Amino acid sequence: MTLPTQRRHTRTLAAALALALAPSLLGGCAGSLLPGGGEPPRLFALTPKSTFAPDLPTIRRQLIIELPQAAAGLNSTRIAILQSATSLNYYARASWTDLAPVMVQTLMVESFENSGRIVAVGRESIGLRADFTLKTDLREFQARHQDGKPPLIHVRVNAKLVRMPERQIVAAQTFEEAAPAGGSGLESAVAGFDDALGKVLKRLVEWSLRTIAAQPE
């Protein structure tokens, strides 16, 4: 066998061996991609607010809701828990269905829509011509560990209403809820998040609509 022929024969054997081993190699890699090599995390979603004060004004203006700003520790799909004042951890094998700021933005939009008191509301990405923009900071969005007690759920959102196109801040307010979860388990913590965020969303929507209604045309 000549040298070029021998090299071609060697390359053919190597390719055949790689194809034969491929299924077992891919199977091993797929398992190792999961956290700890075990089951995938459980996914949780929260709900928008749907009940509001009956005397809310109807707004004939358009509102853009920007993506909330958040610190790196909260800008995650993972469900945060404070073990101490300086230690942020996450529930094992549990995640939100989206990044926390994205999920909160979606719930804000849906809550405004559920109020039935505003002509148009949406994210900045849809290209809506805005009369006002709602800028928010997600300052707190975590459970807090309490020795021997259910965790304390803490949600805090700082909001600014900005008149467009002048980009003038016409009002600012902070909305905060902190309450213990109904139990020590993960499901109880998620239910606590849903309750606390729902109360924040209710107050945020009502404040925004009343503030916009008070602005001159």
Report the relative pairing of strands 168-180 and 69-70 from DSSP bridges: unpaired
**pLDDT tens per residue, range 120-131:** 999 987 777 899
Q: Which fold has domain 41-213?
A: Rossmann fold (3.40.50)
Q: What is the pTM of this model?
A: 0.81
In the chain, where do the E strands start and end?
Answer: 42-44, 59-65, 69-70, 78-84, 87-96, 118-123, 132-146, 149-163, 168-180
DSSP helix/strand/coil, 103: helix
What residues contact residue 38 under an 8 Å CB cut-off, 6+ apart? Answer: 93
**pLDDT tens per residue, range 58-109:** 999 999 999 999 999 999 999 999 998 889 999 999 999 999 999 999 999 9
Inter-residue contact 161 to 167 (CB < 8 Å): no
- 60: which 2 tokens? 């004939």
DSSP helix/strand/coil, 76: coil
Q: Where are the domains of the chain?
A: 1-33, 41-213
Which amino acid is present at 99?
Answer: L
CA distances from 180 to 89, 150, 173, 190 (A): 18, 6, 24, 11
C-alpha span between 113 and 129 (Å, rounded): 17
Average of per-residue pLDDT values in the chain: 86
Q: Would you list the DSSP string of 35-46?
A: GGGSPPPEEE--
Confidence of residue 37 (pLDDT cuts 50, 70, 90): low
C-alpha span between 70 and 76 (Å, rounded): 9
What confidence score (pLDDT) does residue 189 get?
97
